[in-house]
């Protein structure tokens, strides 16, 4: 089954404790991205990757890091989480960059992160 | 500024009724517009996508329209079902650098 898998689904952590949210897709997609979703603001892009070893900042990259060592994996790293990073996070992938050639974006199930 | 605005913010309808959700955008240049359905606690799922030359696209009971001149889109849901209860997100691709801009969504509640 074609899917984007995020782990963990839920995470509560303390300020400053480094954490990683994993994202894996099994569709051989080139393009992957991370979003955060906050009430009333809609989805905002954090980072994206056009292909292996190619990553770039989205609209709200501060406080986050990513890596793309393999095509299927795109982990999101919070080196020193803060309470304002409490949010619902989604990983997404598409064959190419969403919109180019109108390829569909597949989203993961989400990770609800709480930083206390 | 490239923006996507959706209305209403939330909507309650009775099962079996029709409804229409609105999306206005100021994104330029325009590439495409997509409607997503997001069930509570789950990731968004694409319903329809339209480019500049398309003014209507259907997916079962969902019909999206696009007026690229007025920069407006609507999503019409026919004969609503309880399972239609979800958030519906309008997403526009375009602007300088071909950004993906998300609306805040319309929360639809379908009651029995």
Contact predicate A104/A49, CB 8 Å: no
The yes-or-no verdict on residue A39 having pLDDT over 90 is: no
The yes-or-no verdict on residue A97 having pLDDT over 80 is: no
Nearest CA in chain B to A88: B41
| Structure confidence at residue B94 (pLDDT) | 80
HEC states along B63-89? Answer: EEEEECCCCEEEEEECCCCHHHCEEEE
Asked if A13 reaches chain B (Cβ–Cβ under 8 Å), the answer is: no
Query: Which of these, A45, A56, A49, lies nearest to A93 by C-alpha position?
Result: A49
User: Which member of A43, A102, A110 has the closest CB to residue B102?
Assistant: A43
The yes-or-no verdict on residue A100 having pLDDT over 60 is: no
Contact predicate A6/A109, CB 8 Å: yes
Asked if A110 reaches chain B (Cβ–Cβ under 8 Å), the answer is: yes
**Closest-CA distance of chain B to residue A41, Å:** 5
The yes-or-no verdict on residue B12 having pLDDT over 60 is: yes
| Structure confidence at residue A32 (pLDDT) | 92
Dist. CA A104–CA B33, nearest whole Å: 12
- A81: how many CB neighbours lie within 10 A of its CB? 22
Q: Mean of the pLDDT values across residues B62-79?
A: 96
Burial class from Cβ neighbours inside 10 Å (0-12, 13-18, 19+) for residue A59 reads middle
The yes-or-no verdict on residue A81 having pLDDT over 60 is: yes
Cβ contact (<8 Å) for A107 and B32?
Answer: no
Give B25-39 pLDDT, tens digit per residue: 998 888 889 999 999
| Structure confidence at residue B64 (pLDDT) | 97
Query: Which of these, A97, A48, A88, lies nearest to A68 by C-alpha position?
Result: A48
Query: Which of these, B103, B82, B100, lies nearest to B9 by C-alpha position?
Result: B103
Q: Mean of the pLDDT values across residues A56-70?
A: 95
Cβ contact (<8 Å) for B32 and A43?
Answer: no
The yes-or-no verdict on residue A51 having pLDDT over 80 is: yes
Strand partners, B10: B107
Contact predicate A115/A18, CB 8 Å: no
The yes-or-no verdict on residue A1 having pLDDT over 90 is: no
């Amino acid at each position: 089954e074609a899917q984007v898998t995020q782990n963990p689904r839920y995470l509560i952590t303390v300020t400053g404790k480094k954490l990683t949210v994993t994202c894996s897709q099994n569709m051989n997609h080139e393009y992957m991205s991370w979003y955060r979703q906050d009430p009333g603001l809609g989805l905002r892009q954090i980072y994206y990757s056009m292909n292996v070893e190619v990553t770039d900042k989205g609209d709200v990259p501060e406080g986050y890091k990513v890596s793309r060592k393999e095509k299927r994996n795109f982990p999101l790293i919070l080196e020193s989480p803060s309470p304002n990073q409490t949010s619902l996070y989604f990983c997404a992938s598409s064959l190419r960059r969403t919109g180019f050639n109108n390829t569909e974006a597949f989203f993961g199930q989400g990770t609800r992160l709480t930083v206390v | 500024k490239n923006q996507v605005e959706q209305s209403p913010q939330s909507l309650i309808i009775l099962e079996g009724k029709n409804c229409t959700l609105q999306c206005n955008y100021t994104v330029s240049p325009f590439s495409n517009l997509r409607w997503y359905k997001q069930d509570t606690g789950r990731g968004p799922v694409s319903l329809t996508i339209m480019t500049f030359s398309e003014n209507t696209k259907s997916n079962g009971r969902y019909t999206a329209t696009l007026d690229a001149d007025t920069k407006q889109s609507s999503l019409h849901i026919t004969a609503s079902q309880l399972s239609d209860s979800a958030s519906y997100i309008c997403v526009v691709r375009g602007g300088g650098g071909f950004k993906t801009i998300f609306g805040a969504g319309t929360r639809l509640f379908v009651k029995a």
